Every structure is written in C-alpha cells, then in structure tokens.
Structure 1
C-alpha cells in the first residue's frame, strides 16, 4: 500500500511535468551527430523536441534497469545455488525417511517361530 502511494506521489507529478514540457516544446529541432558539419543530413534527425525528451527518459530507464539487473546478479546466483542445495537436501531427507519407514516396517514384522 505504501509503495502505491509513493509511486503515485512520484509518478503523477513526473508525468504532469513531462506532458507540460511536451506541450511547451513542440518545435522541430535537429539532432546532429556530426560535430564538424551540422548541416550534414546523413547523421542528423529532425523531430519535435519532446520526442528527444521522451527518448532520453526511456533510455535512462532502460540503462538504470540494466545496471540494477547486473548489480543484483550475484544475489540471483546465490538464490539459485541455495535453492538447488535445498532441493538436494530435501531429496536426501525423503530418501532417509523412506529407508527409515522400511526399517520400521521390517522391525514390526513378527519373526518366524521354529
């Protein structure tokens, strides 16, 4: 519940700011990748400024998510290793339990009388 409230408090104002910036920056700008000749149309893209703004936000989200995913890799690996070890010990416990049941069943059988 608290996470929802925090998301609403952060994401709603952020969304409002992005919409206001988009409305205010509708003019076409040219994004040039050639620093020596900005008039070169081969390495440039023209679009409304808000398109570049949204692309920058999306790129930041993707890069942040990738950095977080890579940073948490050691924890995911540890969780996988511990899960496989727990499964191994569970199988061993089941094996021991079945052997104990067999021994108990053999011990409870009456021995043959001569």
Structure 2
C-alpha cells in the first residue's frame, strides 16, 4: 500500500517534471573543460542541456552516497563486533572465553 502511494504521489510528479525539463532543454549546449580558452574544440562537448543537468544530479547522488557510506563505516564495524559478541554469548554450548569463530592460523 505504501509503495503504491509513493509511486502515485511522489514518483509520478517527479517523472512529469523531469520529462518536461528534458523536453524544454533539448538544445545542444557547449560544455567546456578549459576555463581559460572556452573555444578549444578538443575540450568542448556539444550536449543537450538536460543531459548535463541529469549527469550533474547523478554524480552528486553518487558522491553523497559514497561520503555517507564512508562516514558510517565505524558504526557498521561496531555492529559487526557486537553481533559476534551476541552470538558468542547466546550460544550455551560454549565455555567462557571460547568463541564460535573459526580458528585462525598463526
């Protein structure tokens, strides 16, 4: 029920807006990587403006997701350690000090 609500109320209007944006901005636009010589044809691409906008949004989402994932790494590690501790505590067949983790070679 919630998935259908999200689809109808959120994603359909976003899709309509993005399609309208793409149709309105389909003219080729010069994108240059050389700020000192904008006329340099080797570093200039002619792309539709909506493609550049969508690419910028996608890159921003990827960079933001990666930054969030890296920032939360310590919490994932803590959850793994606590999960292993809980598994060790919850297994009644183990004696104190013994773990059910596989033995490592030295």
TM-score (norm 1): 0.70
- CA offsets per residue over residues 44-101 of structure 1, 9 Å max, x none? 211111111110121122122112212222221111010111122234x2135xxxxx
- CA offsets per residue over residues 1-37 of structure 1, 9 Å max, x none? 5476346533322221111010011100010111111
Alpha-carbon separation, structure 1, partners of 2:88 and 2:70: 28
Q: Which has the higher helix share?
A: 1
Find runs of 4+ consecutive structure 1 residues off by over 6 angstroms. Answer: none
Of 2-11 and 80-89, deviating more is 2-11
Matched, 1:61 2:28: no
The two structures, once aligned, show a CA RMSD in angstroms of 2.0
Unaligned runs of 5+ in 2: 96-106
Contact 2:29–2:48 (CA under 8 A) maintained in structure 1: yes
CA-CA distance at 1:41 after TM superposition: 1.4
- Which residue of structure 2 lines up, in the alignment, with residue 95 of structure 1? 94
Q: 3-state SS of the aligned residue for 1:37?
A: coil
Q: 3-state SS of the aligned residue for 2:38?
A: coil
Alpha-carbon separation, structure 2, partners of 1:3 and 1:65: 22
Count of residue pairs the alignment pairs up: 95
Alpha-carbon separation, structure 1, partners of 2:75 and 2:6: 26
Matched, 1:46 2:51: no
Contact 2:88–2:94 (CA under 8 A) maintained in structure 1: no
TM-score (norm 2): 0.75
